[in-house]
């Protein structure tokens, strides 16, 4: 399921004319760019990877890579 979502997101990004393409938030009507969305997703993903690394370190005792 995760890989399908990744594939779909890649399709959406590839189809966009540029990273400056915009969308509109349904709740507020505020616009946002594809660039903003991608940066937010990268930051969020990285934050959760850090959490997963902490859990792994607690389990196996190894730190770093």
DSSP codes joined into one string, 21-64: -EEE-TTT--EEEHHHHHHHHHHHHHHHHHHHHHHHHHHH----
Mean pLDDT of 42-48: 84
Q: Specify if 10 maps to a domain.
A: yes
d(CA 10, CA 33): 16
Least Cα distance to 16 among 43, 42, 37, 1 occurs for 37
d(CA 42, CA 53): 16
d(CA 11, CA 13): 6
Q: Specify if 51 maps to a domain.
A: yes
Q: Specify if 65 maps to a domain.
A: no
Q: Specify if 28 maps to a domain.
A: yes
Domain count, the chain: 1
The per-residue pLDDT for 64 is 63
19-30: pLDDT as tens digits: 999 999 999 999
Task: List the domain range (segments joined by +) for residue 35.
Answer: 2-60
Q: Specify if 35 maps to a domain.
A: yes
Q: Specify if 29 maps to a domain.
A: yes
């Amino acid at each position: 399921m995760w890989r399908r979502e990744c594939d779909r997101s890649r399709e959406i990004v590839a189809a966009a004319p540029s990273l400056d393409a915009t969308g509109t938030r349904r709740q507020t009507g505020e616009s946002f760019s594809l660039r903003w969305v991608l940066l937010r997703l990268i930051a969020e993903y990285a934050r959760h990877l850090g959490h997963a690394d902490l859990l792994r370190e607690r389990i196996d005792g190894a730190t770093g890579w």
